[in-house]
Structure 1
Amino acid sequence: MAPRPRLLDRVNAARAERAAKGLLRTRRLIEAREGMRVKLDGRELVNFCSNDYLGLSQHLDVVSALQESAAWQGVGSGASALVSGYQFEHASLERECAEWMGYERGLYFGSGYLANLAVMQSLLEPGDVCVQDKLNHACLLDGARLAFCELKRYPHLDIEAAMRQLLSEREGAAMLATDGVFSMDGDLAPLRDLALLARSQDALFYVDDAHGIGVLGPQGRGSTAVAGLTAKEVPLLVLPLGKAFGGQGAMLLGSDALIGHIAETARPYLYTTAPAPAMAAAMRASLKLLRNESWRRAKLASLVARFRRGAVRAGLPIQESYTPIQPLVLGDNERALAASRGMEALGFLVGAIRPPTVPDGQARLRITISTLHSEQDVDALVAALARVCAPAPVTA
């Protein structure tokens, strides 16, 4: 009888393979941070790889709301939401987000990943189909896999391919799911066309607006607001709170019927401790700020435009993105890693993104811009990128 494979041998072989392909990942310890300045290995760097788009993670109102709530209510919620973990701050955040976005009801999760797993596990089953953009975030893909439905993926932004995939499966229920803003390319999904397609094919349309909410649209109501869509066209919408909100968790919005069903049946919601009430209080403070302080979005848009103008003048390989996500696709894994190291040597923290986060051959620097950056920060970044990412000279 052949010996059983050993898991440790498999782990070691897989790590060696990742090392050979330039795909090892390591955590970097941030020793301190103030605004967009971070201390790493004893050096101060300007951080251009944070998703804190509006600079709210360190805002005094947000920090004070968290501290005050924790002082009165403690840190943890103590139980799952359906036992005794659902508290005043949770309910208030759900109500305020639903009112802001024009939905009947909200449901607060500990993360966007959990929310996407919960939605699909609760609503879909074997025999159903979930049609998704190939560049959707991993948690949308994993949610469909958890539901054991058929997952069909269409080429990025290809409406006709999405229609063909919906038409190919007519036996079970259908969901059409997409990011609002794609996390690695920074471009927007064609939400109006997708909403029409979903309606014509009796598919539930579901949007994850992690990188659009707070940043785009009137009052920061995100990519669906930019597209002019309401709860009628987008029956389920998830708003992760770890980006522009500057905190943690995710708000799922929908009708009473849909949210009620998910709250009662979704395993990632039922069998986990409810988020800290203090974090919900902090996210209420963030919501107030991003609704009322439109100057943050105006400044952010101005910095993005300034970066793009400078990058074009410098001949940098930027993509068609007008959001705070500005990718520079370099192709080769080692080139992206070398560019990231070069930027660090010049005083900038910029992450190298490699497969499987992006497709093979599309390794890149993923630059993210925040309201906390200055015009001087952006100009210095462009100058450094021009030095580090300049194309190699052509030799005869």
Structure 2
Amino acid sequence: MAFEYIQQSLAARKEQTLLRSRVLVQHSNARSITIAGKSYLNFASNDYLGLADQSLEGNHGTTGSRSSALVTGYQQVHKQLEDRLCELLGYESALLFSTGFSANSSVLKALFNDSAPLQNCAIFQDKLNHASLIDGALQSTAKHIRFNHNDMGHLRSRLEKSAASNKLIISEGVFSMDGDKAPLEALFKLKQQHNAWLMLDDAHAFGVVGEHGLGSCERYHEKPEILVITFGKAMASQGAAVLTSKAVADYMLQYNRDYIYSTSMSPLMVDAARFQLERLVKADNERAKLNENITLFKSLAEQASIALMSSDTAIQPVVLGSAENVLNAQRALQQKGIWLGAIRPPTVPANTARLRITLTAAHTHDDIRFLVQQLEGLL
């Protein structure tokens, strides 16, 4: 069975009295701490000056969590956010990270560490995946195999040639530089056929894709074995979460060095993320307005003969080829009062430098018309 070594490793850790687990902190400050209803003097905090005790006006969360999650940094507010995410997205467990980059890269380094059977582990990764996923794979012990962007035939060929017992396919839900979506139905089918797992980075889909904004997988009964969402995009907050099974989460507590050795996410930011999450779930009108704006932009761009990539998301790139062309276009648009990102290699492949347009629900129709008019005059 694929990834059977996870359960075996956890059992070995338990037998060796080395199994790590989190302690839920009900209340704490620099001097005292309450766990399971009992209060203690707190000598396990890194809040050296006691400054985390002061909460910001109108917010119940303190600024500092005072420790790593495996010491005394795992508090009620962290668990509440984890539980809510699991409820919404259909997972057993969640782990919170301060950044999406850390979440992505550290999961791969931890999943394929020295305890994994080296010759039997392989990562199959879309060539346009985010740098955090590439870096994590390169720092892992697994064989790293890349397939052409959204090319399921190429992925199938790669899977068929692999003798690895533990295969992990990795994709983004919405690709950050092209704006197109992963072919999830085909990915689910391939992972089943080849006894593989799927990891999905849904940073640019969570909040905006799906009937209720729950991301790329909302309309599917099947879920990726590992789902990563970030709070800094549509949620307009900060941080990230890894959602998975209890066994994989427990495995991360043993081997994920970023999680184990980092002070846990600030309760203030967790509280803000919880607040923003509930706003996001109810933001049906905003999602409708965003989709309306995307449709309008694409229609006006077609009328103006502006070549777009095959994206129906908020990310709408206009490829200009050379870095010089993109920088010149960016400067010209700035003079007209428009600010766009100029994305150049190595962030994108050679000769595909682009203007990266990101649409929001806050844009008016007049804003979009003005943008297209200026693009048409420039291009």
TM-score by length of 1: 0.78
Query: In the alignment, is residue 99 of structure 1 matched against residue 87 of structure 2?
Result: yes
* SS of corresponding position for 1:330: strand
Q: Which moved more, 1:185-194 or 1:196-205?
A: 196-205
Question: How far apart are 1:88 and its partner, in Å?
Answer: 1.8
The alignment status of 1:89 with 2:77, answered yes or no, reads: yes
Q: Does 1:155 align with 2:159?
A: no
| 1:196, distance to aligned residue in structure 2 (A) | 1.2
Query: Is the 1:130–1:177 Cα contact (8 Å) retained in structure 2?
Result: yes
1:262-310: per-residue Cα shift (whole Å, max 9, x none)?
1332011111111111111111111111111201100000001111111
Shift of the 337–138 alpha-carbon distance from structure 1 to 2, 3 Å rule, reads: same
2:103 aligned residue (109, 115, 123): 115
Aligned residue number for residue 375 of structure 1: 365
Following TM superposition, by how much is the alpha carbon of 1:68 offset from its aligned partner in structure 2, in angstroms?
3.4
194, 213, 221: which one pairs with 1:201?
194
Aligned length: 320
What do the CA deviations read for 1:324-368 (whole angstroms, capped 9, x no partner)? Answer: 000000001000011111111100110100011100000000000
Please tell me whether the aligned partners of residues 213 and 280 of structure 2 are also in contact (alpha carbons under 8 angstroms): yes
Amino acid at match of 2:317: P
Aligned positions of 1:229-248 closer than 5 A: 229-231=221-223, 234-248=224-238
Q: CA RMSD in A?
A: 1.5
Unaligned runs of 5+ in 1: 1-64, 391-396
Distance 1:301 1:215 in 2: 9
Q: Indicate conservation of the 8 Å contact 2:56/2:62, yes or no.
A: no
Maintained 8 Å contact 2:89/2:214 = yes
Letter in 1 for 2:76: F
Query: What SS does the aligned partner of 1:130 have?
Result: strand
State the 1:143 CA deviation: 1.0
2:283 is matched with which residue? Answer: 293
Relative distance call for 1:186 and 1:224 in structure 2 (3 A) is same
In structure 2, the partner of 1:47 is none
**Distance in 2, Cα, partners of 1:145 & 1:158:** 22
Compare relative contact order (CA 8 Å, sep 6+) and give the higher one, 1 or 2: 1
Q: Alignment partner for residue 244 of structure 2, among 236, 246, 254?
A: 254
Looking at structure 2, the residues matched to 185 and 283 of structure 1 have their Cα atoms a distance apart, in angstroms, of: 27
C-alpha displacement at 1:179, in angstroms?
Answer: 0.3
Paired residues for 1:136-147 under 5 Å: 136-147=129-140
Determine if contact 2:100/2:229 at 8 Å carries over to the other structure.
Answer: yes
- Distance (Å, rounded) in 2 between the aligned partners of 1:148 and 1:377: 49
Structure 1 residue 93, shift from structure 2 partner: 0.7
Following superposition, the deviation at residue 375 of structure 1 comes to 1.2
In structure 1, give the amino acid aligned to 2:181. Answer: L
Q: Is the 8 A contact 1:76 1:277 kept in 2?
A: yes
Question: What is the match of residue 9 of structure 2?
Answer: none
Change in Cα spacing, 1:230 to 1:284, as seen in structure 2 (3 Å) is farther
Shift of 1:67: 5.1
Runs of 4+ deviating beyond 4 Å = none
1:355 maps to which residue?
345
Given the two structures, how large is their TM-score scaled by the length of structure 2? Answer: 0.82
Matches within 5 A, 1:20-39: none
The one of 315, 333, 342 equivalent to 2:332 is 342
Letter in 2 for 1:163: R
SS in 2 for 1:387: helix
1:76-134 Cα deviation digits (max 9, x unpaired): 21211111111222111111011001111111111111111121112124332100111
**2 CA distance for matches of 1:327 and 1:236?**
28
What secondary structure does 1:322 align onto? Answer: coil
Q: What are the superposed Cα offsets for residues 173-227 of structure 1, whole Å, 9 maximum, x if unpaired?
A: 210010011001100011111111112111111101011110010210111124x
* Preserved CA contact (<8 Å) 2:61 2:269: no
Distance 1:130 1:209, change over 3 A: same
Counterpart for residue 266 of structure 1: 256
**Of 73-82 and 304-313, the range deviating more from structure 2:** 73-82
Alpha-carbon distance in structure 2 between the residues aligned to 1:367 and 1:260: 40
Q: Percent identity?
A: 39
Q: Distance in 1 between matches of 2:213 and 2:253?
A: 27
Matched residue type, 1:246: A
Could you tell me which runs of 5 or more consecutive residues in structure 2 were left unpaired when the two chains were aligned: 1-54
Query: In the alignment, residue 102 of structure 2 is paired with which amino acid?
Result: L
Q: 2:61·2:271 contact (CA, 8 Å) conserved in 1? A: no
Partner secondary structure for residue 72 of structure 2:
helix
Check conservation: 1:132, 1:153, Cα contact below 8 A.
yes
Report the CA distance shift for 1:229/1:153 in structure 2 as closer, same or farther (over 3 A).
Answer: farther
Q: Residue 135 of structure 1 aligns with which residue?
A: 128
- Which amino acid in 1 is paired with 2:192? R
State the SS of the aligned residue for 2:217. helix
Equivalent pair of 1:107/1:263 in contact (CA under 8 Å): no
3-state SS of paired residue (1:364): strand
Partner residue of 1:20?
Answer: none
